[in-house]
Structure 1
């Protein structure tokens, strides 16, 4: 009986640790490093504006500097449709939870700039009209105004 109880406790503990989401980790990192959180909802294999956003902004050196210079912590909540691109069940569940909290309308792409507590500072519905440089400058400006 002790073995069964121990096994159950270990499983519950393991699930509890895993349930700590990327957002919770991002909040901790953002708080420690005085960063913002950029949360992007995308359909990486079906949403053309999402694909353009990633190619023209997220994957650029200009945007990557925001991460390396401790300006933002980036989270991509992806909702692929193709079978070959499916996410793990845990990641699907986590993305669904993020969508329930921050993207109830189901917009794609939908990008949010959050503070370390998870409060929305700015949102972009659809593909941002800015290029990577202007997008990055806007985020830096918002961060500077948070001080």
Structure 2
């Protein structure tokens, strides 16, 4: 009986801990979903395999319980521009580079854009410091929540 209780406890503990927001990687699908659900899009530019601030932001903000709880208010779109060629497919890299050329010309990482359901940029926030202050990002999504 103790063994079953322990197994159930571990299952629940790891299940809760591994909850993450659901990210799309296709811009057209994100727009269709946003239009259908009447939600704003959060477009996140990251360099998942090389960008230190992106890795910190993922841990501190994107994987936080507070953000995960609010993530259903948005359609989430991750635009990864890694250095390594095995992180994403070649076709996905081409799509992501095209999105970067249009929406992140400065090539600033991390960058988060708030878009309406048609894909028009309404707001933007860039950078993440070693101070690991997530307050500006939470303020950004609070503001973005009203975009339609």
TM-score (ref. length: structure 2) = 0.72
Residue 136 and residue 34 in structure 1: after superposition, are their counterparts in 2 closer, same or farther (change >3 A)? farther
Question: Are residues 1:31 and 2:69 paired?
Answer: no
Question: Are residues 1:75 and 2:50 paired?
Answer: no
Residue 104 and residue 138 in structure 1: after superposition, are their counterparts in 2 closer, same or farther (change >3 A)? closer
Gaps of 5+ in 2: 1-24
Cα distance in structure 2, aligned partners of 1:130 and 1:115: 26
Contact 2:125/2:140 (8 A) holds in 1: no
Residue 135 and residue 107 in structure 1: after superposition, are their counterparts in 2 closer, same or farther (change >3 A)? closer
Cα distance in structure 2, aligned partners of 1:87 and 1:137: 31
> How is 1:29-108 mapped onto 2 (pairs within 5 angstroms)?
29-68=33-72, 71-83=73-85, 85-108=86-109
Question: Are residues 1:131 and 2:134 paired?
Answer: yes
How far 1:130 moved relative to its partner? 4.7
Where does residue 4 of structure 1 map in the other structure?
none
How far 1:55 moved relative to its partner? 0.9
Cα displacement string for residues 76-118 of structure 1 (whole angstroms, at most 9, x for unaligned residues): 11122235x4311111111111101101121111111111011
- The secondary structure found in structure 2 opposite 1:108 is coil
> How is 1:6-25 mapped onto 2 (pairs within 5 angstroms)?
22-25=26-29
Q: After the TM superposition, list the runs of 4 or more consecutive aligned residues in structure 1 that deviate by more than 4 angstroms.
A: none
Q: How many residue pairs end up in the alignment?
A: 122
Where does residue 4 of structure 2 map in the other structure?
none
- The secondary structure found in structure 2 opposite 1:104 is coil
Cα displacement string for residues 118-143 of structure 1 (whole angstroms, at most 9, x for unaligned residues): 111111111277526x6345423332
Cα distance in structure 2, aligned partners of 1:38 and 1:65: 15
Cα distance in structure 2, aligned partners of 1:100 and 1:136: 26
